[in-house]
Chains A and B, each alone.
Chain A
Amino acid sequence: MTVPLHFHTITELGPLIAAGRLSSEALTRACLAEIESHDPALNAFITVLGANAIAQARTFDAEIAAGRCRGPLHGIPISLKDLIDQEGVPTTAASRVREDHVAERDAPVTARLREAGAVLIGKTNLHEFAFGTTSDDTAFGAVRNPHDPSRSPGGSSGGSAVAIVTGMSVASIGTDTGGSIRIPSAACGTVGLKPAWGEVPCEGVVPLSPSLDHVGPLARSVADAWLVYLVLCGQPTAARWPLPARRSIKGLRLGIPRQYFHDLLDDDVRERFAASLAWLRQAGAHTVDVVIPHASGAAPVYLHVTLPEAAAFHAASLAASPERYTRNVRLRLEMGRYVLAEDYVRAQAARAVLRRDVDAALDGCDALVLPTLPIPAPPVGAVTIDVAGTRQPVRAMMLRLTQLFSLTGHPAISMPIGDTPAGLPCGLQLVGRLHDTEGLLATAAACEPFVIA
């Protein structure tokens, strides 16, 4: 059966649009039709820019007819997590706290996408203020996983991942503070890139924890994530198209951090990950076990950085209108008001140690490789879950394998590696060297054909 065009990748669609063989309007209308059909059940979108998106698409089609192509994103429908400002459109952050907000101008990342020719099709649902990993605490209804609507899509960029899987947009822009791009990517079966910290501007994006916040793409392939990443960084993609040939898998050196990271894994996730490693080795990659000595300390460090930074941003609205937050997010923000300054400073100092640990583990390796999530997508609303014979908090499990690399600022990407027997996706995470997101993308592109089942 032929896959409808709006489920294809940017690398497939871009040349068709550039050659005038596919109109952006037709592609945009197909995505809007998916939103109309499926979004009432999945809650992926908060704002759909139907007529506005079609007008954008017509403008880009007219440019192609006049001989102007802006690059590979020209005419491609892309959604924005509703933390990111788009001029004239509400930025709700999935919260009643921001009920009357309308963005006065584009965030820099939005302006860059617009300049690159992206059709901004709508704003996606998320965990309120990005302060959670399941996308069920939101003023707009819980986001549902399209693989099983009784399950969470992960979060906080849950709507973004759902939009890509269901053909509602070809790519999406999310944010990642402890894993919020990689977690929903793994839970829904998309590619999600957290670039190195500081590469992509966060201005015009509602902050969660400013010293940890990252903006990055969710997409259908590594090459698509790469192209969108270049645009988000402000690099001209037309000159970079096509992307450089991917690195060879043969001789690629992958470090496997097992201690702590493999201590609590769902059996099905463990099996999928082991199968992926076997395929990578069979294809010619070398693997070596590495150790990140302080990895088990990452969770308390993350907590003592995120909580007070988030509480500081929300202090005024917590005082003025606490009832407008969802209960769980309000309590988490209130918790942040009690963190002692001395412990915040301790946590910030610990980040330097963690960063040196990860740098040392990467010494002699092209990337680290580990699962993205230790569990498949949990049931919507679940607070605890059974993992390897123990009862664990869902939130701690969701963050367990991703938060370290948010603390250290290393670039990290999640790729789908097939499904559990119950049909729930699993993700493989690659972590690259500081300052070298493109090196990570090249490594991920080399691995991609061998791990996507």
Chain B
Amino acid sequence: MTIEDWLAGACADADRRGLADLKPLLESLADATRALRTAGWEDASGTPAAPRPAGTARPPADGAPQ
């Protein structure tokens, strides 16, 4: 889904729910999503980070959070 499509849908839903105050926040979230998607998440060796599931109870074996 493109960010533009997502934002249009989210703002329409906020209107439908009577949460017009939410729309400026959703616009700022769209900016943040754009930044997240275009940040170039590679490590120094150029290897992209592999998605990992979120740990919520305990850190994985190496003790670091997901």
Question: Does A33 make an interface contact (CB < 8 A)?
Answer: no
- Which residues of A in the span 197-228 have a Cβ within 8 Å of any Cβ on B? 197-198, 210-212
In the assembled complex, the Cα of A293 lies from the Cα of B22 at a distance in Å of 33
> A307's closest neighbor in chain B, by CB?
B29
Q: Given A198, A294, A435, which contacts B41 in the complex, CB threshold below 8 Å?
A: A294
CA distance A353 to B45 in the complex (A): 11
Contact (Cβ within 8 A) B22 A331:
yes
Contact with A340, one of B6, B35, B65 (Cβ below 8 angstroms): B6
Q: List A residues 102-131 near B (Cβ within 8 Å).
A: none
Q: How far is the CA of A353 from the CA of B26 in the complex (A)?
A: 26
A198 CB contact (under 8 Å) in B43, B52, B58: B58
A334 interface neighbour in B22, B39, B57, B58, Cβ under 8 Å: B22
Q: Are A300 and B36 within 8 A (Cβ)? A: yes
User: A350–B41 contact, CB under 8 A?
Assistant: yes
* Chain A minimum-CB-distance residue to B36: A300
**From residue 338 to 357 of chain A, which have CB atoms closer than 8 A to chain B?**
338-340, 342-353, 355-357
Given that A335-B26, A340-B6 are contacting pairs, would A346 and B51 also be in contact in the complex, using a CB cutoff of 8 Å? yes
Query: B22–A335 contact, CB under 8 A?
Result: yes
Number of interface residues of B (CB under 8 A): 37
| A300–B36 CA distance with the chains assembled, in angstroms | 6
Report whether B44 and A356 are in contact in the complex, using a CB–CB cutoff of 8 Å.
yes
Residues of A within 8 A of B41 (CB): 294, 297, 346, 349-350, 353
Q: Are A360 and B44 in contact (CB under 8 A)?
A: yes
Tell whether A173 is near chain B: CB-to-CB under 8 Å.
no
Complex Cα–Cα for A212 and B6 (A) = 26
For A151, what are the chain B residues with a Cβ–Cβ distance below 8 Å? none
- Complex interface bits, B15-57 against A, C-beta within 8 A gives 1, otherwise 0: 0000101100110010011011101011110000111111111
Residues in A neighbouring B22, C-beta threshold 8 A: 331, 334-335
Asked whether, in the complex, the Cβ of A351 is within 8 Å of the Cβ of B36, the reply is no
**B-facing residues in A226-262 (Cβ within 8 Å):** none
Contact (Cβ within 8 A) A348 B29: no
Q: Determine if A69 is an interface residue (Cβ-Cβ < 8 Å).
A: no
List, in ascending order, chain A residues with CB within 8 A of B19's CB.
Answer: 331, 334
Known: A348-B52, A349-B51. A304 touches B25 (CB 8 A): no
A293→B42 CA distance, assembly (Å)? 10
Q: A304-B36, A340-B6 are in contact. Are A356 and B43 (CB under 8 A)?
A: yes
From B13, B36, B56, B57, give the contact of A297 (CB < 8 A).
Answer: B36
A188 CB to nearest B CB, Å: 27
Residues of chain A lying within 8 A (CB to CB) of residue B35 = 297, 299-300
Q: When the two chains form the complex, which single residue of B33, B55, B65 contacts A300, counting CB atoms closer than 8 Å?
A: B33
CB <8 Å contact, B36 and A349: no
Residues in B whose Cβ lies below 8 Å from that of A211: 54-56, 65-66
Residues of B within 8 A of A345 (CB): 51
Q: How far is the CA of A304 from the CA of B50 in the complex (A)?
A: 17
Known: A197-B59, A210-B56, A300-B32. A351 touches B26 (CB 8 A): no
* CB-contact partner of A299 in B14, B21, B32, B43, under 8 A: B32
Check A338/B10 contact, CB under 8 A, given A211-B54, A350-B36, A350-B39.
Answer: yes
Contact yes or no, B25 A335, CB < 8 A: yes
Q: How far is the CA of A294 from the CA of B48 in the complex (A)?
A: 13
A353 B25 Cβ-Cβ under 8 A = no
Once the chains bind, are A348 and B1 in contact (CB under 8 Å)? Answer: no
Residues in B with CB closer than 8 Å to A172 are none
Query: Is A196 an interface residue when CB atoms closer than 8 A count as contact?
Result: yes
B54 contacts A300, C-beta separation under 8 Å = no
Q: Report if A329 contacts B (CB, 8 A).
A: no
Q: Point out which of A211, A299, A338, A347 has the most chain B C-beta atoms below 10 A from its C-beta.
A: A338
- A-B contacts, 18 of them at CB < 8 A, read A197-B64, A198-B59, A211-B65, A294-B41, A300-B32, A300-B33, A301-B36, A327-B21, A332-B25, A340-B1, A343-B36, A346-B36, A349-B50, A349-B52, A350-B41, A353-B42, A357-B43, A409-B59
Which residues of A are at the interface with B, using a C-beta cutoff of 8 A? Answer: 196-198, 210-212, 293-294, 297, 299-301, 303-305, 307, 309, 327, 331-332, 334-335, 338-340, 342-353, 355-357, 360, 407-409, 434-435
**Given A294-B39, A343-B36, A346-B41, 13 other A-B residues pairs in contact with their CB atoms under 8 A:** A197-B63, A210-B57, A300-B36, A338-B6, A340-B33, A342-B1, A348-B51, A349-B49, A352-B52, A353-B42, A356-B44, A409-B65, A434-B64
